[in-house]
Structure 1
Amino acid sequence: MGLLVDGQWHDKWYDTKKHGGRFVRSESQFRNTVAQGTEFEAESGRYHLYVSYACPWAHRALIFRKLKGLESHIDVSVVHPLMLENGWEFADAPLNEPLYDADFLYQLYLKADPEYTGRVTVPVLWDKKNQTIVNNESAEIIRIFNSAFNELTGNTLDFFPADKQKQIEEVNEWVYNDINNGVYRSGFATTQQAYEEAYESLFAALDKVESILSQNRYLTGDKLTEADWRLFTTLVRFDAVYFGHFKTNKKRIVDYPNMWNYLLELYQHPGVEETVVMDHIKTHYYASHKTINPTQVVPKGPEIDFHQTHNRGSEGSSQS
């Protein structure tokens, strides 16, 4: 865990004191896109995706790479699940870095910007042609994957359709603030007040999701959109990690009938299961966050069966 300051690596946990014990996430800094007629055009084999199986933000990108048929066009590298004094690191194959034989992810950030200051995060969309980072913001990478390569792949699935964009953006905002980032705001809080604020807003938002799913098959109606996949990567980690490790222990996802069945449906969507690597998820959180779990002991449970038959399907139909 750490960050780069003027191109120098520092092993440093998050500074919550200046925010009253609250965790405040920093903004991603590489924000280019892929589009014809720009510096970064859609080309097969030109881009490389760096991810962690543990990270919910990187998981979004993996799902879109799979569902949009980009696996033969965009290669992927997976970091080691442990993130310790050198941040995200590579290891022996298959967790190696194939382009530059880098040991640590921060070395790629320095290759893109030798004076970079900021956190070193995944996902990273790398341009092999210009040898730089195109984008390290997951919300934007999934939008790139959603449409930029359609002519190349012939895959026209659209998880951000024009007629739903306003509604999707509205859902994304509160889901991000109170759920996606809310679990971190709870887990990384260093005062009781900061923790309870995050905890209460998280479970109010989960109640809201449960209510929506009692009426609709998906968050914005009868079609699967990016809003659902953005929520999914938090929900699939919740009972195994966030409930205990981040002290978000009012209720489990399995205790919400509609949300649990919704989670099962998304997990069972073709191609998604292979993007969920629970060993990496549990190892990363419990063994990397020594400030929260000093012993680094990783719990064996819980045993979660994501293959159970779900009851979703009466409200519209999913994309396939």
Structure 2
Amino acid sequence: MSITPRAAEPVDIDKYGPYGRPPSKPPAEARKQTRPGPAFPNRIGTSEYPAEPGRYHLYAGHPCPFSQRVMIVRALKGLEEVLSVSILDPMRDSRGWALREGEGHGLDEVNGFAFLSEAYRASGFEGHYSTPVFWDRTANRIASNDFQHLDTDVATAFDAWATREIDLYPENLRGEIDELNEFLYEKVHNGPYKCGFAPTQEFYDTEVRSLFAALDELDARLADRRYLFGDRITLSDIRLWVTLVRFDAVYVTHFKANLRRIADYPNLWPYARDLYQIDAFRDTTNFDHIKRHYFGTHTWINPSRIVPVGPDLDWEAPHGRETK
């Protein structure tokens, strides 16, 4: 059956309203969770959803760090021909993520959806429409939107078709990687959001100190090693990096996570540049999409929707990490 791609109507926050704002929660409850769990928490590489070339289509947005995690793994392992992708418009109104033609994003050539919500509704779900999403072409429905594990599944389940040999989740380190990843999720990934969506000054003060204590700890860890587990890149590096690359551009100002910049850290900043200068990291990073999304759609934080020009950082500067 021939699919005719459809473009969503232009984003119009004044007409449709913003995508949404964090629900008001007591500080103790807000501290536990900053995002809803996945509607389709299925793992790829199981008997129900086996890894097969061409079976899955990824819907991803450049602003979303969870999407970028999957995109980086896909590129590092050379799975571009195995997992197709549609890149979503970075701007959202209350209708959610959409597919429009534009710089760095485009239409859905697989299903012809104009809005990501259509994929969810076609799979029997109404609610929070998040990325990344794996669409199952065989079952004609969403296979998974398990943002916590899709990068791991791509890293481990598609080895038979990978064109680049890299083990991002080595067997002998999995326990340590899982432990560090939990720390990264709670303290680092969610940290800026807890600061930015803080319901009270007291809550903010606690969370911002917690976030920077975690960054201080990671900076110290990287003083004598090139990557988090020595001389090899793992999933933990990817998960930390997607926060670092957004930090100075967005989180410092937009989320008030401003005790220090990543550029002020003696080890985190060279480490971040080291990874950025790898094609899989650089080519999946779109600072324009990242900044326009956060500053332009979180209207309860930035009512003017003005997108700042800076910061002016040289991500291509020599990093000196080769000798670590």
Q: Work out whether 1:100 is the aligned partner of 2:111.
A: yes
Name the Cα RMSD after superposition. 1.8
* TM-score normalised by structure 2 residue count: 0.89
Q: Work out whether 1:267 is the aligned partner of 2:272.
A: no
Structure-2 separation of matches of 1:86 and 1:17: 23
Structure-2 separation of matches of 1:89 and 1:194: 33
Q: Deviations over 1:204-241 (max 9, x none)?
A: 00000111011222112222110000000000010010
Q: Secondary structure at the match of 1:22?
A: helix
Aligned CA distance change for structure 1 residues 284 and 12 (closer, same or farther; 3 Å)? closer
Q: Work out whether 1:17 is the aligned partner of 2:17.
A: no
Partner residue in 1 for 2:57? 48
Gaps (5+ residues) in structure 2?
A: 1-17
Q: Residue type of the partner of 2:287?
A: M
Partner residue in 1 for 2:43? 33
Given that 1:264 and 1:308 are in contact with CA atoms closer than 8 Å, whether structure 2 keeps it comes out as: yes
Structure-2 separation of matches of 1:296 and 1:41: 43
How far apart are residue 117 of structure 1 and its match?
4.6
Aligned CA distance change for structure 1 residues 20 and 153 (closer, same or farther; 3 Å)? closer
Partner residue in 1 for 2:123? 112
Given that 2:19 and 2:297 are in contact with CA atoms closer than 8 Å, whether structure 1 keeps it comes out as: no
Q: Deviations over 1:169-206 (max 9, x none)?
A: 11111111111011111111121112112101100000
Aligned pairs, how many? 303
Q: Secondary structure at the match of 1:87?
A: coil
Aligned pairs (5 A) from 1:1-320: 12-19=20-27, 22=30, 24=33, 25-35=35-45, 38-92=47-101, 94-113=105-124, 116-153=125-162, 155-315=164-324
Partner residue in 1 for 2:13? none
Given that 2:79 and 2:161 are in contact with CA atoms closer than 8 Å, whether structure 1 keeps it comes out as: no
Q: Deviations over 1:92-138 (max 9, x none)?
A: 3642122232221111111112xx25421111111111111121123
Given that 1:47 and 1:127 are in contact with CA atoms closer than 8 Å, whether structure 2 keeps it comes out as: yes
Structure-1 separation of matches of 2:167 and 2:223: 24
Given that 2:19 and 2:92 are in contact with CA atoms closer than 8 Å, whether structure 1 keeps it comes out as: no
Structure-1 separation of matches of 2:29 and 2:167: 40
Gaps (5+ residues) in structure 1?
A: 1-9, 316-320
Q: Residue type of the partner of 1:188?
A: F
Given that 2:42 and 2:146 are in contact with CA atoms closer than 8 Å, whether structure 1 keeps it comes out as: no
* TM-score normalised by structure 1 residue count: 0.90
Q: Secondary structure at the match of 1:69?
A: coil
Identity %: 38
Q: Deviations over 1:243-266 (max 9, x none)?
A: 000000110001001110000111
Structure-1 separation of matches of 2:163 and 2:20: 45
Structure-1 separation of matches of 2:141 and 2:96: 19
Q: Secondary structure at the match of 2:135?
A: strand
